[in-house]
Structure 1
Amino acid sequence: MKRVALAMFMLLMVVKANAVIVELNKYEFLQGENITLKIYTSGNASLSIVNDTTVLSMNIEKSKTLEIPTSKLSPGIYKLYIADRTSEFLKDIKIKSFKAHADVSIKSKISGKVVVLGETNIPNGYKLKIRLNSVEKEVEVNDGKFEVSFDVPEGIYNLKVIFGSLVLNETKVYVEKFKIESVKAPSEIYVGEPITIIIKTNAEFFTRVVLQNESYMLEKTARFSSLTGEIEFDDLWLKPGDYSISIAVNNSKNSDYLKLPLEVQKSFLDVKVESFDGKKAKLVIFAPSNHRIWVIGYETKKIVMGEDRKRVVDIAANNSINVVDQMNLAERDMLKKLESNDFESLPHLTINPKEKSNEKTSEMSETSKSDTKGLPGLFAGSITIAVIGGILVALFFILRREV
């Protein structure tokens, strides 16, 4: 290694004292491409690129690397001549006719992750410079495509795609702050109902969602490879009261946060007799979604309430039908209650289908009290929060802070 270094040193000493040396790795160039050459000289060298109609010349005072643009040179064969007071260099070079172009699209334009995709007619192996304001990166063309990423803060940037000395494409890019764009979540539910939260951001994200009040907290986390993600809290049996849903999202170095209100209301149970022929009754049952309702006549049926909080049941019966809400009771314990006909601790109704009414017996629990006109189960609402220009649009009180 010491011998190689010494040899290189001696060569440079000779170059500086006695000769001009030129490093040029190729002799054919596409029109628009820069001619890159390294020149070692003792000083006061001259460079010329000439053909029958064109002369390009310059003086070189010291050894350096030159980038000579070919965008203003017409296609053809040129003489490249470089000389100083001790020696000269002469080679033919060729400028090939070529009209380069490039199209770009922005895959991601979020602060901390700006990804530029492009297509071009430039052959494989050639390199382009992608400039985002003052930040510049070089990227190689592969199968007519290129991709490059930048880590920059939010703001408005000028994007340029450069081939040699030619600007092939120029456009403005608004780099956004990573943020929650919208959230769809219930504003109120009934005891036992699940909670589905749909979060939309402007980039892939990781989220942490916390459901809580003064005495309760439940947390879920998830990572999404898309701009929209869904978090579900199922089999919830929260006590009635006021809660909050806290949503934190992050992506790379950025984060955002929302806090939404949630009211959990008391359960309800109602039944309407649609028809009865003396042997079979058709009932319409109203109860919160996800509740397991047992209907007991000559036979016993179990149903699970859907999102509309309404189910139709046909059941063989005589003058008495019991409708019982299992709530969050384990099924084996529920079966024991059914065997002993002990429903006192659960929401329940006893109806006479002959009367074709849904009057409730005195045994009905407090959580069962309602009437069929204006059933509460039909009015529990949801909320969609949209973020427009940094402002949350909703008719509910919302807290937002930077994380």
Structure 2
Amino acid sequence: MVRTIYAPEYCLQYLEQYASKGPYVIGLIIGQITESRENVVHLAKTPEEKSPDVVSESSFTSEKSDLLRDILGLSETWVADHAKHVTRMLPGGLFVQGIFITSGEEIFEDPNYFSKMKSVLNYTHKALSANPYMYGSYPHSNERLILHMSTNTKVLTCKSVEVGTGIKTSIKPVEWKFLAKPQQWQCLECYFEFDDIYPVVVKKSGISVKQQFQQILESAHKTIESSVMFIDGELKQDSEPLEQINKKKKLKSSTKTAQDTPKSMNVSLFVPFQNSLPDTVEYLECDGNIHFSGVVASSVFMYPKATVREAIDAVKQDIIRSLASRFTMHSPAEALLSVKELLDVQITEGDVICDVETPADTSEFDALDGSDTCSEEILATPQEASQFMYITGICFAMFVLVVSILIHYYDVIMLFISKLLPRS
């Protein structure tokens, strides 16, 4: 059976638009895979790779620009880095399903071009698999898409390729169906509250803030994975479709609405209570603690025929992905520019929903700290901390000694000063 992809009609118009520009255009395929259907929601053009500023002869510059315009000169790491940034912006349940390319060359017929596209897919797969908390786990299979539109004939061809399997890969044809009518999606909203205290153990070599955040992320992932999800206050069966839940709600409701748009579902995650201590208890001498508290707001959009199990995985993944992204979050202005450049979507600040949650305002701290800080802040080692306390103690003791001498010999000092004043 041929694999079928469903996409909105504007994706076809998007491809035709770029098929008439430049020698080639490459980008990412973004969508959602469920057991009932595979949907593509957006195509995001990869920004053009900027050639390094090299002071050289014009002939070398011309050769460099020609290389960038050739598919064989495409950088795999550049596309993989684009996929990493885009995945961070996606809600849970949405993934980078593959790449698209518009060019005059027939990439499936020429082994050199096809080998290049497979290399791009494998680099992207490796980059996203390196951090499952940030980029999630691709569901169901390890097959990725290569979608090609010829700039000469405007013919669309798509094939799926296995990634991460070595030299021998399975290649299968894929059929695309473009839908003129926009399809409805089911929204699930969840608020997950964190309120935990984590120990800080500083070793001789010190500890980085990034490593400390990674430990917090691993602990949060275990907590969320063990939680039980309720939809609208009820525990649902994993195999039940989301649209079936909406139908039951309509039957129970006596009022009829003119719109058939499904309402958002409220999701609650409950963590099982552990009433017993673990088998082994480890005691550590801590140098401090981190109070990790706050609320992560999650909004996930699912295909209505998706099951409750798939919705649970998407919500949990969205919380972990949001939490991991917050540890490396940009400023709001940079985030808006990233959306425009990386997703190829034209939006303004007025289109951004900011009433639910916003990043912390660090302008006061940025004003105090004019120097550039490194990405990994290293905490002080015990030796450095003890030296600082030792010097501080000596300075304070000297200050107390001077003050005590002045108080003890106050009368003598004042008499000596009074004898000096008449002489002057």
- What TM-score do you get using the length of structure 2 for normalisation? 0.15
- What TM-score do you get using the length of structure 1 for normalisation? 0.16
More helix by share: 2
Compare CA radii of gyration and give the structure with the larger one. Answer: 1
